[in-house]
Amino acid sequence: MTYRITLIVGFFTIAYLALISRLFYWQVLRYADIKQIAAAQNSESITLPARRGSILASDDFKLATNKISYLLYANPKLVKDKDYLADKLSSLLDIPKASISAQLSKDLFWVKLANNLDMSSKDSIEGLRIKGLGFQENSLRYYPESSMAAQLVGFVGKDQNDQNRGYFGVEGYYDGQLKGRDGRLYVIHDALGNTILNEVREEKRIDGRDIALTIDRTIQYIAEKQLKDGLDQYEADGGSIVIMQPKTGKILAMASFPRFDPQKYYDFEGSFYKNPVISNLYEPGSTFKVLVMASAIDAGVVKPDTKCPICSQAVQIGEYKIKTWNDKYFPDTTMTEVLMHSDNTGMVYVGKQLGFNKFIQYLRSFGIGSLTGIDLEGETTGIIKDEKDWYPIDVATATFGQGISITPIQLITAVNAIANGGVLMKPYVVDHVITDEGKTIEVNPQIQQRPISEVSAKVMTEMMVNAVEKGEAKWTKLKNYKVAGKTGTAQIPVAGHYDPRNTLASFVGFFPADDPQITMLVLVDKPKKSIYGAETAAPIFFNTASEIINYYNIPPTY
């Protein structure tokens, strides 16, 4: 009897120990795994994607925003009549029937049929009531003005983790502000799959901030249209235009051709994405003369009526001979006339009077050789060589804009300092930022430095007005308006020498000269009809200026 009881007690003890061991195994040792499996069965984590902020023009029109698009997918195993479906989708979506049929013939549970569908297409497909089709909602970056200011706005592509990321321009520079932070929603379901509301836990999403630009959409449109018409007329390879507000440094318009469609950026080569205004280095040619002349005036080494004693013939510098652009020479020409005739020999004289150290010092104070700090992705800068690397011929050619590389944004920023009474402003494209809570963060104009005095700026302005009134571009100047400006016809360096056929024509200036409201730079790359800035870039400048004057209703000077 005792033996039997002992046996039974022993059996139950072992059984309980085995049970406890098993429970210990599942509940303690495998706790984490089991918890994960249970959580997967009854709970769900949903990503709440943050809305990417919009990019607005100064009139609050959205240059970049988001729109809902749909991805159409199918489960081929559920589609009964594949041929009928392929036929219908082909006619509705304008996709080859063969490509839809190929997708539907795959032995898969999920195949992608079309992407970026709008709501009307989705409604039409839903109207077919075909089993096995489904839609996935996506947010698509949308650029309502398509290619307008494309290089300035940039685009949204994918990074290496397949996440949206802004590239180039404002999209790239302000990506951190625009993208916001995704939220997460943790929900628990009951046995039937219904959400249990009191178990919902949420990590709040933070939407991206809206970026309001200084870009005036009307001026941008005018500038792009005039530039495009001009490039077509002069059969140029490309070109750029930048328009700035003198007193603040606000960029009102910035455009370049050829351009790309940010909506379909993947259809264009990478070189199209670059903004030539901030990324391309070029030799500025004669437009650079205004900076050198302004420096010499400010340093007091020349005056507008100072006569040039070396301008009667070509100037010999070591083994090199410096000629004027048209091989015409003007003995005893004044500094005002040097600028008017765009006289290279006169500029060599100005450079000599200024001296190498002051020449470099002034260039640096005008911002040449350093980044302007414009709030756009991809700005580059040319480097001013070390003092020991400058030869006399380098200094001589640099006075008329050869052998020195700058970006268009550096040139317009420097010339804008003359328009702004000698004060160099930092160029910028973002006027204010709007947070997801609706708070506005203003961006204020920034003074960089004062390269020249107010008096020197006034004197230089009058010399530039004279260059427009009596110089090579006088045929295209505006009636009744005083415009200060300078033409440029720069040679293009190619593999150690200058391209004998092609030039980079340009015109830089500001108006009305007495109280400047606009500073503008026009660049025309390799024009075929004429190689000169006075005959290509200048007319584009004045046509654009004329429309801006009407838009702003700027009163005539005389």
Long-range contacts, stretch 37-41, CB < 8 angstroms, 24+ apart: none
**Could you tell me how far CA 80 lies from the centroid of its own chain?**
50
Considering only residues 200 to 239 of the shown chain, the ones binding other proteins according to CB under 8 A are: 217-218, 221
How far is Cα 30 from Cα 478, in angstroms, rounded to an integer? 85
How far is Cα 175 from Cα 167, in angstroms, rounded to an integer? 8
Contact 292, 414 (CB under 8 A): no
> Considering the complex, what minimum distance in angstroms separates the CB of residue 67 from other proteins?
4
Q: Residue 137 interacts with other proteins (CB under 8 A)? A: yes
Closer CB to other proteins, residue 179 or residue 217? 217
Exposure pattern of 235-252 as b/e (b: 16+ CB <10 Å)? Answer: ebebbbbbbbbbbbbbbb
Residue 328: burial class (beta carbons within 10 Å; 0-12, 13-18, 19+) = exposed
How many residues does the structure list for the chain? 558
Binding-site member from 44, 58, 62, 373 for other proteins (CB under 8 A): 62
> Considering the complex, what minimum distance in angstroms separates the CB of residue 530 from other proteins?
23
Considering only residues 180 to 199 of the shown chain, the ones binding other proteins according to CB under 8 A are: 190, 192, 194-198
Q: Which residues pair with 517 in a beta bridge?
A: none
C-beta neighbour count of 120 within 10 angstroms: 8
Closer CB to other proteins, residue 120 or residue 357? 120
How far is Cα 397 from Cα 404, in angstroms, rounded to an integer? 8
Considering only residues 408 to 427 of the shown chain, the ones binding other proteins according to CB under 8 A are: none
Contact mark string toward other proteins, 143..182, x via CB under 8 A: -xxx-x----------------------------------
Q: Residue 121 interacts with other proteins (CB under 8 A)? A: no
How far is Cα 214 from Cα 432, in angstroms, rounded to an integer? 8
Q: Evaluate the CA torsion angle 341, 460, 413, 469 in order and state its sign.
A: negative
Closer CB to other proteins, residue 53 or residue 285? 53
Q: Evaluate the CA torsion angle 173, 518, 281, 157 in order and state its sign.
A: positive
Closer CB to other proteins, residue 83 or residue 123? 123
How far is Cα 264 from Cα 502, in angstroms, rounded to an integer? 32
> Considering the complex, what minimum distance in angstroms separates the CB of residue 548 from other proteins?
12
> Considering the complex, what minimum distance in angstroms separates the CB of residue 75 from other proteins?
22
How far is Cα 19 from Cα 271, in angstroms, rounded to an integer? 71
Residue closest to 349 by CA, chosen among 379, 322, 381, 369: 322
**Could you tell me how far CA 39 lies from the centroid of its own chain?**
46
Exposure pattern of 461-498 as b/e (b: 16+ CB <10 Å)? Answer: bebbbbbbeebbbeebbbeebbbbbbbbbbbbeeeeee
Residues contacting 470, CB < 8 A, separation 6+: 340
Binding-site member from 65, 121, 151, 306 for other proteins (CB under 8 A): 65
> Considering the complex, what minimum distance in angstroms separates the CB of residue 4 from other proteins?
36
Closer CB to other proteins, residue 137 or residue 389? 137
Contact mark string toward other proteins, 535..554, x via CB under 8 A: -----------x---x--x-
Contact 186, 206 (CB under 8 A): no
Q: Residue 10 interacts with other proteins (CB under 8 A)? A: no
Closer CB to other proteins, residue 165 or residue 225? 225
Q: Which ranges in 331-382 belong to alpha helices (H)? A: 335-341, 344-354, 356-365
Which range of residues in 19-27, 142-150, 178-186, 263-271 is near other proteins by CB under 8 A? 142-150
> Considering the complex, what minimum distance in angstroms separates the CB of residue 53 from other proteins?
15
> Considering the complex, what minimum distance in angstroms separates the CB of residue 342 from other proteins?
30
Q: Evaluate the CA torsion angle 18, 20, 26, 28 in order and state its sign.
A: negative
How far is Cα 375 from Cα 396, in angstroms, rounded to an integer? 34
> Considering the complex, what minimum distance in angstroms separates the CB of residue 275 from other proteins?
20
> Considering the complex, what minimum distance in angstroms separates the CB of residue 229 from other proteins?
11
> Considering the complex, what minimum distance in angstroms separates the CB of residue 137 from other proteins?
8
Q: Please report, as a single letter, which amino acid is at residue 519.
A: T
Which range of residues in 136-144, 330-338, 376-384, 484-492 is near other proteins by CB under 8 A? 136-144
Contact 172, 377 (CB under 8 A): yes
> Considering the complex, what minimum distance in angstroms separates the CB of residue 346 from other proteins?
38
> Considering the complex, what minimum distance in angstroms separates the CB of residue 268 from other proteins?
18
Exposure pattern of 141-150 as b/e (b: 16+ CB <10 Å)? Answer: bbbebebbbb
Which range of residues in 64-72, 202-210, 284-292, 425-433 is near other proteins by CB under 8 A? 64-72
Closer CB to other proteins, residue 190 or residue 232? 190
> Considering the complex, what minimum distance in angstroms separates the CB of residue 378 from other proteins?
25
Q: Which residues pair with 137 in a beta bridge?
A: 70
Closer CB to other proteins, residue 28 or residue 192? 192
Output phi, psi for 306, to 5 deg: -60, 135
Contact mark string toward other proteins, 492..531, x via CB under 8 A: ----------------------------------------
Which range of residues in 140-148, 257-265, 349-357, 389-397 is near other proteins by CB under 8 A? 140-148
Q: How many residues bind other proteins (CB under 8 A)?
A: 29
Interface residue list for other proteins (CB under 8 A) = 61-62, 65-68, 118-119, 137, 142, 144-146, 148, 190, 192, 194-198, 217-218, 221, 546, 550, 553, 555-556
